[in-house]
Chains A and B, each alone.
Chain A
């Protein structure tokens, strides 16, 4: 008998909870059509920051991010040298990346960031490979401008230098 009464109480309280939840706003979204906002700290697809003022990417090709990465995701080709350096290639194999943020924290020049893009699934393997044109803010155009700026800066530096140093030094490349 107590069992029976207990069972009824179960039903009653269970239904009470259900009734209360009936009037709560719904919490689901219809995902592919509707998306939820992403918080500013979200760790999604990377981007290389474009510096509008200096017309170049912030990255100086110091490879600190590549050294900080536990899974060797990042590889790059340096362009130029000294303070005017940047990268001509910056490749990330995101198939290996675990979005751990260590590379972003390692960068001393605020050059690499993680953005809000999270739909990175693909049917092809090579789609995991993100090149500099995919990563740079502003895409191909930014990469082109970046290279132009760096070459210009290098040329200026070269012009200023030979007068002061040995003539045998530069111009080899």
Chain B
């Protein structure tokens, strides 16, 4: 039965949308970097509407944390953003330290910053590798993971694990750096500077790569701010906002580094921000190793740690953005409430806006450039 002209103008959004073709991407799809499902409504090549579905990895982490003593919760944060486990460890430890008024020794602060920047490099290298494969540059994947292996070897030597480090404790770090660690890190910095140049030759110079990323998935500044995005996604849209500068923690106020900002807001800018951040991380590492004082690395705490009643909030700049923890204490050994602000979760929320009107072929580029980790989104 033909629809009358009056009826046609009153079709609801759902009815109009249902005219497009609906396809599912994920939850098991190599380009979604985890178990993310996207319901796409397509009109030919164009994406009309995108609806991300999350929750496949939900473990009820916040509730689990409320049922355990404070320090038992640190290993669980490894499983949030599994590509940057140390950042999560630092986030929760800082929060507990604020809650209990625990002082951290100087040397421990420097060690923390050193590990944090190594972790940032490792995480950005995963981004680089997977982003390269998503766009068809498989070589990049192999090279990036080869260098990531060097970072992981360093972290393994220091912490004893390769992915779930669990090496930050309330009141410091559990142990000093192993012997000769500084030299090894400096040797890595030297090698990695040169490798970064190679990446530039391989990808940044690459005509095809540039065509596939420039002016794709543009996120305007006001939209980025309105959605509350953070990290490289926000800085690629022209906002110089980095927790390490705005609200310095540990010793970030004592080291010199630049915050890379680009105005374009497209996939290309997000890629460039991360590349530049790796350069800056190397700078921080060198300064930290130069200035690191001697001394103890951990404050002694009572066996049963009971912070006074109160509420604490702390934030760190994880490789993906602003990661913050909030904890409420009532003076008992367990927290009453824990809340985690996961940067990937907030950054993912702009995805439907970015994908509206984009081509299907650009989907993986846009999703890859946001660099989400599903462990953190679903927690």
Which residues of chain A have a CB within 8 Å of any CB of chain B? 3, 6-7, 9-10, 13-14, 16-18, 20-21, 27, 39-43, 68, 70, 98-102, 105, 114
Partner of A14, one of B75, B157, B202: B202
Nearest 10 Cβ contacts at the A-B interface: A100-B75, A70-B72, A41-B160, A43-B160, A13-B201, A6-B207, A39-B157, A10-B207, A100-B166, A7-B207
A40 to B180 CA separation, bound complex (whole angstroms): 13
A1 to chain B, nearest CB (A): 13
Check A13 against B202 for contact (C-beta < 8 Å): yes
Q: Residues of B contacting A9 with CB < 8 Å?
A: 205, 207
A21 to B195 CA separation, bound complex (whole angstroms): 10
A3 to B166 CA separation, bound complex (whole angstroms): 49
B174 interface residue, CB < 8 Å from A? yes
Check B201 against A17 for contact (C-beta < 8 Å): yes
B221 interface residue, CB < 8 Å from A? no
A73 to chain B, nearest CB (A): 12
User: Could you list 13 A-B pairs, sorted by A, with CB under 8 Å?
Assistant: A6-B207, A7-B208, A10-B205, A16-B201, A39-B160, A41-B157, A41-B158, A41-B175, A98-B164, A98-B166, A100-B74, A101-B166, A105-B174
A43 to B158 CA separation, bound complex (whole angstroms): 11
Give the residue name and chain of the A residue nearest to B68 (CB): A70
B176 to chain A, nearest CB (A): 11
Given contacts A9-B207, A14-B139, A68-B72, 7 further A-B contacts (CB under 8 A): A10-B205, A10-B208, A39-B156, A98-B78, A99-B161, A100-B75, A101-B160
B320 to chain A, nearest CB (A): 22
Give the residue name and chain of the B residue nearest to A24 (CB): B146
Q: Residues of A contacting B166 with CB < 8 Å?
A: 98, 100-102
Q: Residues of A contacting B206 with CB < 8 Å?
A: 10, 14
Check A114 against B207 for contact (C-beta < 8 Å): no
Q: Residues of A contacting B164 with CB < 8 Å?
A: 98-100
Check A114 against B205 for contact (C-beta < 8 Å): no
Give the residue name and chain of the A residue nearest to B159 (CB): A41
B71 interface residue, CB < 8 Å from A? yes
The interface size of chain B toward A, counting residues with CB under 8 Å, comes to 30
B56 interface residue, CB < 8 Å from A? no
Q: Residues of A contacting B174 with CB < 8 Å?
A: 101, 105
Q: A42 with B156: in contact, given A18-B139, A70-B75, A70-B76 (CB under 8 Å)?
A: yes
B209 to chain A, nearest CB (A): 8
* Those of B196-217 within 8 Å (CB) of chain A: 198, 201-202, 205-208
Q: Residues of B contacting A100 with CB < 8 Å?
A: 74-75, 78, 164, 166
B73 interface residue, CB < 8 Å from A? yes
B271 to chain A, nearest CB (A): 16
Q: A21 with B149: in contact, given A10-B206, A100-B75, A101-B174 (CB under 8 Å)?
A: no
* Those of B110-156 within 8 Å (CB) of chain A: 139, 143, 146, 149, 156
Q: A114 with B160: in contact, given A14-B201, A14-B206 (CB under 8 Å)?
A: yes
B178 interface residue, CB < 8 Å from A? yes
Check B208 against A27 for contact (C-beta < 8 Å): no
Q: Residues of A contacting B146 with CB < 8 Å?
A: 27
Q: Residues of A contacting B207 with CB < 8 Å?
A: 3, 6-7, 9-10
Check B161 against A43 for contact (C-beta < 8 Å): yes
A112 to B40 CA separation, bound complex (whole angstroms): 53
A63 to B206 CA separation, bound complex (whole angstroms): 60
Check A70 against B160 for contact (C-beta < 8 Å): no
A98 to B156 CA separation, bound complex (whole angstroms): 16
A36 to chain B, nearest CB (A): 9
A15 to chain B, nearest CB (A): 10
Give the residue name and chain of the B residue nearest to A98 (CB): B75
Partner of A17, one of B68, B72, B158, B198: B198
A44 to chain B, nearest CB (A): 9
A20 to B178 CA separation, bound complex (whole angstroms): 33
Q: Residues of A contacting B208 with CB < 8 Å?
A: 7, 10
Give the residue name and chain of the B residue nearest to A2 (CB): B207
A39 to B178 CA separation, bound complex (whole angstroms): 10
A168 to chain B, nearest CB (A): 35
Instruction: Mark interface residues in B49-93 (1 if CB within 8 Å of A CB, else 0).
Output: 000000000000000000010011111101000000000000000
A7 to chain B, nearest CB (A): 5
A68 to B198 CA separation, bound complex (whole angstroms): 47
A117 to B175 CA separation, bound complex (whole angstroms): 21
B12 to chain A, nearest CB (A): 45
A50 to chain B, nearest CB (A): 22
Q: Residues of B contacting A18 with CB < 8 Å?
A: 139
A40 to B159 CA separation, bound complex (whole angstroms): 10
A134 to chain B, nearest CB (A): 21
